[in-house]
Amino acid sequence: MEKHVEIERSIIKKYRKEIWKRFIAAINEYEMIKPGDKIAVCISGGKDSMLLAKCIQHLQKHSDFPFEAKYLVLDPGYSYENRQQIINNAKTLDIPIEIFEANIFGYVVDVENSPCYLCARMRRGHLYKNAQKMGCNKIALGHHFDDVIETILLSMIYGAEIKTMMPKLHSTNFEGMELIRPLYMVRESDIKAWTRYNNLTFLQCACKFTEASEYNQSDMELMSKRKEMKELISSFRKINSNIEMNIFRSVHNVNLETVIGYRKGDFKYNFLDDYDSRV
């Protein structure tokens, strides 16, 4: 059996419960893929986006309705070794990637304040732009369950607000385009287990700032906070294995009767606005 067939089979057999069923559950619950969609699956070279590509590829073969998928790699200025590793992994997994280049690393190298934030925004913009040129109406990113939980905790603890990473979003800058996150319910530990099982090695981080250890202080703080959230979640897990899922479900089940305030667009509400009228 060819390697890519074994890898794909492991998703629907050995990791059916942990990966495949949760992948399908997220797509169905949040209505991510619809008939006639043309999806640009965005591949960074890491484990998450590579797994996403294989899941989308398998789904396309067996879907009850037709949709198209393109596998888009944006090269923001990778080293030769990192770019080649992405190409080699794509061949191993039998993913027909298309590579587009944009010298984003070169542009942000001299930015003093938060080059990582700027880099991420520029990459997202280039992905939308190239996906739209390919005739796609959606881009798919490899964010997973752990990313969602970490975002919720970060917003509460350091942002003083309650918000989450949405399963899908309409683009505000590219008309008719939408972002989807099909691995929304898949845990990072299961992605790592799938990677180890298939003896695969993906990029950890291909950023030149990482290689040169030249992160801006604000970006270092953000990464440190992400790590802090991972450690906090790990400690929660030791207390109660359901805590992560409870955090996840909490943003699906907000009780507005017991919320001090909320905002939606320019509208702001405070419970005192109609407190006396409730008597």
pLDDT digits (tens, 9 = 90+) for 147-159: 999 999 999 999 9
Determine the pLDDT at residue 198.
97
Q: Choose between 95 and 106: higher pLDDT.
A: 95
Mean pLDDT of the chain: 90
Q: Choose between 141 and 117: higher pLDDT.
A: 141
User: What DSSP element (H or E) covers 195?
Assistant: helix 188-197
**Does residue 28 register a pLDDT over 90?**
yes
**Does residue 197 register a pLDDT over 90?**
yes
User: What DSSP element (H or E) covers 245?
Assistant: helix 243-250
Q: Which percentage of the chain shows pLDDT scores above 70?
A: 87
Residue with tokens 């606005």: 273
Residue 45: is it exposed, middle or buried by C-beta count within 10 angstroms (0-12/13-18/19+)? buried
Determine the pLDDT at residue 226.
84
Residue spans of the domains in the chain: they are 3-212
> What's at 222, amino acid-wise?
L
What is d(CA 23, CA 20) in angstroms, rounded to the nearest whole number? 5
**Does residue 228 register a pLDDT over 80?**
yes
The contacts of residue 131 (CB under 8 Å, 6+ apart) are 40, 42, 70, 72, 138, 139, 177
Angstrom CA distances, 6 to 13, 79, 93, 248, stand at 10, 30, 9, 32
Q: What is the pTM of this model?
A: 0.91
Helices and strands: H and E segment counts in the chain:
11, 8
**Does residue 272 register a pLDDT over 70?**
yes
Confidence of residue 213 (pLDDT cuts 50, 70, 90): very low
What is d(CA 206, CA 244) in angstroms, rounded to the nearest whole number? 29
Contact 37, 135 (CB under 8 A): no
**pLDDT tens-place string over residues 31-70:** 999 999 999 999 999 999 999 999 999 999 999 999 999 9
What is d(CA 123, CA 207) in angstroms, rounded to the nearest whole number? 12
Sequence-distant contacts of 243-247: CB under 8 A, at least 24 apart: 244/145, 244/149, 247/149, 247/152, 247/153
Q: Residues 3-212: name the CATH superfamily.
A: HUPs (3.40.50.620)
| DSSP structural state of residue 161 | S
**Does residue 125 register a pLDDT over 50?**
yes
